[in-house]
Amino acid sequence: AQEVTWWDFLSGGDGVRMKALIERFNDEHPDITISGTTLEWGVPFYTKVRTSVAVGQGPDVMTYHLSRMPLGLEEEVLDTISEDDLAAAELSKEDFFPASIAAASDEKGALHAVPFDIHSIVLYVNKSYLEGSRFLDGDGNLTGIDNLEDFEEALALAKENGSSAPVSYATGDDGGTYRVFFTLLKQLGGELIVDGEVLPGDNMEKAAKAIEVMTRWHENGWQPEQAEYAASVALFTSGKSAFHMNGVWEVPTMVDMETKDTLGFDWGAVQIPNLMGTTATWADSHAFAIPAGTNMSPEKRKAVMTVIGWMEKNSLAWANAGHIPAYKPVANSDAFKEMEPNATYSSLAETAAYDPRSAIAGVASPVYDAAINIISPAMHGYMDPQQAAEQIKSELQSKLQ
Amino acid sequence: MTRTRKLENWILTGGSLLAAAIWTFPLYWAFITSIRTEDRVVSDGAGVVPDEFNLSSYVEALFNTKLLTWYWNSIATSVIITLVVLISGMMCAYAISQMRFPGRRLLYGIVLASFMVPSQALVVTQFILMNDMGLINTWAGIILPQLIVPVVIIVYKQFFDAVPKEMREAVVLDGGGDYTLLFKIYLPLNWGITTALAIITFIMSWNQFFWPFLVVTTENMMTIPVGITQVNDAFGVYYARLMSVALLGAMPVAIAYLIFQKKVTEAVMISSGVKG
Amino acid sequence: MITNRRRDVAVAMTLIAPFVLTFALVFLYPTLRMIALSFTDAPLIGEGEWVGLANFKRLLSDRLFFTSLKNNGYFVLLTVVPTTVLALAIALTINRLKGALQSLVLALFFLPYILPVSVVTEIWMWMLDFQFGILQPVFEFFFGKSIPVFKNPYWVMPTVAAVTIWWTNGFNVLLFIAGLRNIPTDFYEAAALDGATRWQMFRRVTWPLLWPVTALVLTLQLILQLKIFDQVYLMSSGGPFNSSYVLLLMVYREAFQLNHGGYASAIALILFVVIMVVSVLQFQLLRARGTK
Amino acid sequence: MAVQLRNVRKAFGTVQVIHDVSMDIASGEFAVFVGPSGCGKSTLLRMIAGLEDTSSGKVSIEDVDVTETEPAKRGVAMVFQSYALYPHLSVYENMAFSLRLRHAPKQEIEEKVREAAGILRLEEQLHKKPSQLSGGQRQRVAIGRAIVRQPKVFLFDEPLSNLDAELRVQMRLELARLHKQIGATMIYVTHDQVEAMTLADKIFVLKDGVVQQTGRPLDLYRNPDNRFVAGFIGSPAMNFLTATVTGREGDQLALRVGDTTFSAQTQEPIATGTIVTIGLRPEHLVISETGLPVKMEMAEELGGLAYLHTRRPEGEEIVVEWRGDEHAVMGETLKLTCPADKIMVFDSEGLRVR
Amino acid sequence: MAVQLRNVRKAFGTVQVIHDVSMDIASGEFAVFVGPSGCGKSTLLRMIAGLEDTSSGKVSIEDVDVTETEPAKRGVAMVFQSYALYPHLSVYENMAFSLRLRHAPKQEIEEKVREAAGILRLEEQLHKKPSQLSGGQRQRVAIGRAIVRQPKVFLFDEPLSNLDAELRVQMRLELARLHKQIGATMIYVTHDQVEAMTLADKIFVLKDGVVQQTGRPLDLYRNPDNRFVAGFIGSPAMNFLTATVTGREGDQLALRVGDTTFSAQTQEPIATGTIVTIGLRPEHLVISETGLPVKMEMAEELGGLAYLHTRRPEGEEIVVEWRGDEHAVMGETLKLTCPADKIMVFDSEGLRVR
Ligand SMILES: Nc1ncnc2c1ncn2[C@@H]1O[C@H](COP(=O)(O)OP(=O)(O)OP(=O)(O)O)[C@@H](O)[C@H]1O
Ligand SMILES: Nc1ncnc2c1ncn2[C@@H]1O[C@H](COP(=O)(O)OP(=O)(O)OP(=O)(O)O)[C@@H](O)[C@H]1O
Ligand SMILES: [Mg+2]
Ligand SMILES: [Mg+2]
Q: What is the pLDDT of residue D107?
A: 93
**Does ligand 2 lie within 6 Å of residue E42's CB atom?**
yes
Band of pLDDT at residue D302, cut at 50, 70 and 90: confident
For range C188-197, the mean pLDDT: 87
pLDDT at E7 over 90: yes
Q: Within this chain, do residues D174 and D250 fall inside the same structural domain, yes or no?
A: no
Q: Do C205 and D86 touch (CB under 8 A)?
A: yes
Q: What is the pLDDT of residue B2?
A: 57
Gap from B146 CA to chain A (nearest CA, Å): 21
Burial class (CB in 10 A: 0-12, 13-18, 19+), B225: buried
Q: Within this chain, do residues E155 and E246 fall inside the same structural domain, yes or no?
A: no
Q: What is the pLDDT of residue C2?
A: 58
Q: Within this chain, do residues D227 and D243 fall inside the same structural domain, yes or no?
A: no
User: Facing residues of D4 across strands?
Assistant: D24, D60
Chains C and E touch (3+ CB pairs under 8 A): yes
Q: What is the pLDDT of residue B77?
A: 95
Q: Are D218 and E301 in contact (CB under 8 A)?
A: yes
Q: Do B169 and E80 touch (CB under 8 A)?
A: yes
Pure H helices in chain C: 5-23, 29-37, 54-60, 63-96, 99-110, 117-127, 136-143, 156-181, 185-193, 198-201, 207-226, 230-235, 247-252, 261-291
Which range has the worst mean pLDDT, C174-183, D26-35, E328-337? E328-337
Choose among D32, C96, C106: nearest CA to B261. Answer: C106
What chains are in contact with A, requiring at least 3 Cβ pairs below 8 Å?
Answer: B, C
C148 contacts in chain A (CB < 8 Å): 172, 225-226, 380
Q: What is the pLDDT of residue B63?
A: 81
CA distance to E18, E24, E141, E210, per residue, from E31 (Å): 18, 10, 22, 16
E326 contacts in chain D (CB < 8 Å): 218
B228 contacts in chain C (CB < 8 Å): 116, 118-119, 122
Q: What is the pLDDT of residue C1?
A: 57
Q: Do E71 and B173 touch (CB under 8 A)?
A: yes
Q: What is the pLDDT of residue C288?
A: 64
Mutate to test the interface with B, among A9, A38, A257, A260 (most CBs of B within 10 A): A38
E289: Cα within 13 Å, side-chain hemisphere:
0
Buried b (16+ CB within 10 A) or exposed e, A370-399: bbbbbbbbbbbebbebbebbbbbbebbbeb
Q: What is the pLDDT of residue C292?
A: 41
Q: Which of E208, E232, E256 is the last residue of a domain?
A: E232
Q: What is the CATH number of the domain that holds D329?
A: 2.40.50.140
User: CATH topology for B65-271?
Assistant: MetI-like fold (1.10.3720)
Ligand 1 binding pocket, CB closer than 6 Å = D 12, 17, 35, 37-43, 191
pLDDT in tens, A67-82: 999 888 888 889 999 8
Q: Within this chain, do residues E223 and E246 fall inside the same structural domain, yes or no?
A: no
Q: What is the C-alpha separation between A228 and A376, in angstroms, rounded? A: 11
Number of CB atoms found within 10 A of residue D297's CB: 18
Q: What is the pLDDT of residue D8?
A: 94
pLDDT in tens, E194-248: 889 889 999 999 999 999 999 998 899 999 999 999 999 988 889 999 999 998 8
pLDDT at C86 over 90: yes
Gap from D49 CA to chain C (nearest CA, Å): 8
CA of D190, nearest ligand number: 1
Give the distance, in angstroms, between the CA of residue E62 and the centroid of all CA atoms in the same chain: 24
Q: What is the pLDDT of residue E220?
A: 92
Q: Within this chain, do residues E315 and E332 fall inside the same structural domain, yes or no?
A: yes
Q: Within this chain, do residues E170 and E244 fall inside the same structural domain, yes or no?
A: no
Q: What is the CA(D187)–ligand 3 centre distance, in A?
A: 13
Share of chain A above pLDDT 90, in %: 31
Q: What is the CA(D41)–ligand 3 centre distance, in A?
A: 6
Q: Are D136 and D173 in contact (CB under 8 A)?
A: no
CA distance to A134, B122, C107, D197, per residue, from D225 (Å): 113, 80, 55, 16
Q: Do B189 and E86 touch (CB under 8 A)?
A: yes
pLDDT in tens, C147-183: 888 888 889 999 999 999 999 999 999 999 989 988 8
Q: What is the pLDDT of residue B234?
A: 43
- Write out the residue range of the structural domain in which residue E294 sits: 239-353
Q: Do C192 and D73 touch (CB under 8 A)?
A: no
- Which atom number of ligand 1 is nearest to the Cα of residue D33? 21
B115 three-state secondary structure? coil
pLDDT at C266 over 60: yes
**What is the number of CB-based contacts under 8 A between chain C and chain D?**
57
Q: Do E53 and C3 touch (CB under 8 A)?
A: no
Q: Which of D201, D232, D263 is the last residue of a domain?
A: D232
Q: What is the CATH number of the domain that holds D62?
A: 3.40.50.300
Band of pLDDT at residue D226, cut at 50, 70 and 90: very high
Does C201 contact chain D (CB < 8 Å)? no
E61 three-state secondary structure? strand
Q: Which of D177, D206, D232 is the last residue of a domain?
A: D232
Q: Which parts of chain B have pLDDT scores under 70?
A: 1-3, 230-237, 274-276
Q: What is the C-alpha separation between E255 and E317, in angstroms, rounded? A: 19
Task: Give one word for A245, left, alpha or beta, with left for phi > 0 and alpha for psi -120 to 50.
Answer: beta
Q: Within this chain, do residues E259 and E225 fall inside the same structural domain, yes or no?
A: no
Q: Within this chain, do residues E227 and E247 fall inside the same structural domain, yes or no?
A: no
Q: Within this chain, do residues D213 and D257 fall inside the same structural domain, yes or no?
A: no
Q: What is the C-alpha separation between A156 and A159, in angstroms, rounded? A: 5
For range D229-252, the mean pLDDT: 90
Pure H helices in C42-127: 54-60, 63-96, 99-110, 117-127
CA distance to A388, B265, C87, D73, E280, per residue, from C176 (Å): 49, 12, 7, 32, 59
Total domains in chain D come to: 2
- Which atom number of ligand 1 is nearest to the Cα of residue D189? 22
Choose among E166, E136, E184, E305: nearest CA to D309. Answer: E166
Domain with CATH 1.10.3720.10 in chain B: 65-271
Number of CB atoms found within 10 A of residue E118's CB: 11
Residue of A nearest to B219 (CA): A37
Q: What is the CA(E189)–ligand 2 centre distance, in A?
A: 13
Which range has the worst mean pLDDT, A3-12, A336-345, C8-17, E180-189? A336-345
Chains A and E touch (3+ CB pairs under 8 A): no
For range C43-54, the mean pLDDT: 84
Helix A174-187 vs helix A229-237: angle between axes, to the nearest 10 degrees? 70
pLDDT at A215 over 80: yes
Does the interface ipTM go beyond 0.95?
Answer: no
Pure H helices in A104-147: none
Q: Within this chain, do residues E330 and E266 fall inside the same structural domain, yes or no?
A: yes
Q: What is the pLDDT of residue C43?
A: 84
Q: Within this chain, do residues D11 and D138 fall inside the same structural domain, yes or no?
A: yes
AA identity, residue A226: Q
For range D295-304, the mean pLDDT: 83
AA identity, residue A161: N
Share of chain E above pLDDT 70, in %: 100
- Which atom number of ligand 2 is nearest to the Cα of residue E46? 18
Gap from A325 CA to chain B (nearest CA, Å): 21
D80 contacts in chain C (CB < 8 Å): 186, 189-190
Mean pLDDT of chain A: 88
pLDDT in tens, D172-184: 888 888 898 888 9
For range A248-276, the mean pLDDT: 87
pLDDT at C291 over 60: no
Q: What is the pLDDT of residue B3?
A: 61
pLDDT in tens, E37-73: 889 999 999 999 999 889 999 999 999 999 988 888 8
Q: Within this chain, do residues D151 and D221 fall inside the same structural domain, yes or no?
A: yes
Residue E322 per-residue DSSP state: E
Mutate to test the interface with A, among C151, C159, C250 (most CBs of A within 10 A): C151
Q: Do C33 and B48 touch (CB under 8 A)?
A: no
**What is the number of CB-based contacts under 8 A between chain B and chain E?**
52
For range D243-254, the mean pLDDT: 90
Q: How do strand E30-34 and strand E185-190 relate by DSSP bridges? A: parallel
